[in-house]
Structure 1
């Protein structure tokens, strides 16, 4: 049974993340961990805070059932934790052997992008044993036909990440579309990493898409996602060099802000 973690702050975006993954994995047996982390406060109010949190969790599950019905393959467990958000979520993920974490890309106050807020970036660094699916602000669910994997192949793609891409591809009956940006002749190490990866996904992949830079690399990726009708964009997270090996410093926030499809972050493996 797939262990799926959905942290929530009870915003519409976090509900949308729950709704999206419930539709995406509708045919998979899943134990969905719906958790809310309330920051520690005064001891006298701790129980009151947890009771309110538990009530909101119940309401969120009820809303999901009203929207999509009961799925006999999905079991939802709800937990309210009083701890530091980052540590609480990361510890819960490790203790429960989570296979996938799903979050919305904006927080409750919608003042900052959750992926690039301090807490979320710390989560991406902390929860390194599983992929993280970032669901854009209020997108509608639509069937996924193509899953893009973008890389410059500076690093080898791990067998675990190949298996993850196969899982998603098989689950939604989608083709894996490798994508890279033209940057001159590839050195032998990159060619080797790419060749091994292509062999690993050979049964599910389409022909590689190699594009020149349109204005900048972010624009290139966004154009590619739109023109090729990509349903999910995936990349690998490398600690201390988050996407820098592919799209360059300062561009990541722009990419996630403008991206209108889910963003699958794979751990380095």
Structure 2
């Protein structure tokens, strides 16, 4: 792991995400980029983050944007001063753009290995890094996304839950899950949630989970079949039972009408659990 991206709106949740990113960077030797995207109520391409004004902007827009950029850069500097880096290389960027577009472009251009984001969850949808914007990054990012809600002063991962249907597609994400497990030396609990609507025998499911573990060379793991009425509830209940520090899930990243029809358990978990969630998009 070499590059970690932390989008920030300077909220408490975003600060929590930065603190977790620093803990991961210390373990992996990765560098961090802090990114804040200034999105005006009337998005305009007439400004750059350096304060340069392009042709076509009016006086009121100039004053508003220059003051906003000045205040934003001061907030960024204060954030960096607030947390000791202990040798972690931290760079920062303030840009005028659409948040999701800039985050996706930064992931690609900077070859980002991990995005760490703050989230309030299912309430307060009027802020930058919560609700639909977090879900959009989870759904569309080409690298793993770690979503954090609460402060973790000493971020440690000892017990990890990997929830899946363990079909072939999981192979696209398993190496990234293994890497995160290895960084912390954690125990991985593979779990299949058995629901009334898609019930399978425990013996068959256990065999499927063990086959997955052997196929991908997993170590320090357990295999589990957990019965519940709904998949999301089952994952949350199982995670509580094993006192999980992290939930890992793959997401298909569906968008538009297909997403509305199928829903996304990974995105629902990001909204509803207090446990950090690591998601990896599979095609």
TM-score range, shorter chain: 0.7 to 0.9
Partners of 1:143 and 1:250 lie apart in 2 by 27
Partners of 1:140 and 1:217 lie apart in 2 by 31
Could you list the per-position Cα deviations for residues 62-118 of structure 1 after superposition, in whole angstroms to 9, with x for gaps in the alignment? 1112xxxx322x1000000100111111111111111000101128xx613978733
Match of 2:10 in 1: 10
Structure 1 residue 137 and structure 2 residue 150: aligned? yes
Match of 1:121 in 2: 135
Partners of 2:31 and 2:264 lie apart in 1 by 37
Q: Is the 8 A contact 2:266 2:279 kept in 1?
A: no
Match of 1:45 in 2: 64
Query: Per-residue deviation at 1:165?
Result: 1.6
Partners of 1:131 and 1:7 lie apart in 2 by 14
Structure 1 residue 220 and structure 2 residue 218: aligned? no
The one of 148, 151, 159 equivalent to 1:146 is 159
Partners of 1:121 and 1:236 lie apart in 2 by 13
Structure 1 residue 197 and structure 2 residue 216: aligned? no
What is the root-mean-square deviation in Å for CA atoms of aligned residues? 3.2
The one of 38, 59, 76 equivalent to 1:57 is 76
The worse-fitting range, judged by mean Cα deviation, of 166-175 and 7-16 is 166-175
Shift in alpha-carbon separation, 1:226–1:241, aligned structure 2, 3 A: farther
Q: Is the 8 A contact 1:102 1:134 kept in 2?
A: yes
Match of 2:93 in 1: 79
Structure 1 residue 177 and structure 2 residue 189: aligned? yes
Instruction: Tell me how many residue pairs correspond in the alignment.
Output: 254
Shift in alpha-carbon separation, 1:115–1:178, aligned structure 2, 3 A: farther
Partners of 1:250 and 1:130 lie apart in 2 by 18
Structure 1 residue 26 and structure 2 residue 26: aligned? yes
Shift in alpha-carbon separation, 1:144–1:226, aligned structure 2, 3 A: same
Could you list the per-position Cα deviations for residues 30-84 of structure 1 after superposition, in whole angstroms to 9, with x for gaps in the alignment? 110001000145344333322222211111011112xxxx322x10000001001
User: Which one has a bigger Cα radius of gyration?
Assistant: 2
Partners of 2:207 and 2:128 lie apart in 1 by 35
The worse-fitting range, judged by mean Cα deviation, of 47-56 and 138-147 is 138-147
Q: Is the 8 A contact 1:139 1:260 kept in 2?
A: no
Partners of 1:252 and 1:167 lie apart in 2 by 19
Q: Is the 8 A contact 1:178 1:205 kept in 2?
A: no
Could you list the per-position Cα deviations for residues 165-204 of structure 1 after superposition, in whole angstroms to 9, with x for gaps in the alignment? 2211111111221111125337xxx999756631244342
Query: Per-residue deviation at 1:266?
Result: 0.7
Indicate the SS of the match to 2:222: coil
Could you list the per-position Cα deviations for residues 227-254 of structure 1 after superposition, in whole angstroms to 9, with x for gaps in the alignment? 1111110100102289x99xx7486666
Q: Is the 8 A contact 1:148 1:176 kept in 2?
A: yes
Structure 1 residue 206 and structure 2 residue 206: aligned? no
Partners of 1:252 and 1:209 lie apart in 2 by 19
The worse-fitting range, judged by mean Cα deviation, of 22-31 and 173-182 is 22-31
Relative to the length of structure 1, the TM-score reads 0.81
Q: Is the 8 A contact 1:105 1:114 kept in 2?
A: no
Indicate the SS of the match to 1:77: strand
Partners of 2:278 and 2:17 lie apart in 1 by 13
Partners of 2:32 and 2:215 lie apart in 1 by 29
Relative to the length of structure 2, the TM-score reads 0.78
Partners of 2:89 and 2:218 lie apart in 1 by 32
Structure 1 residue 163 and structure 2 residue 182: aligned? no
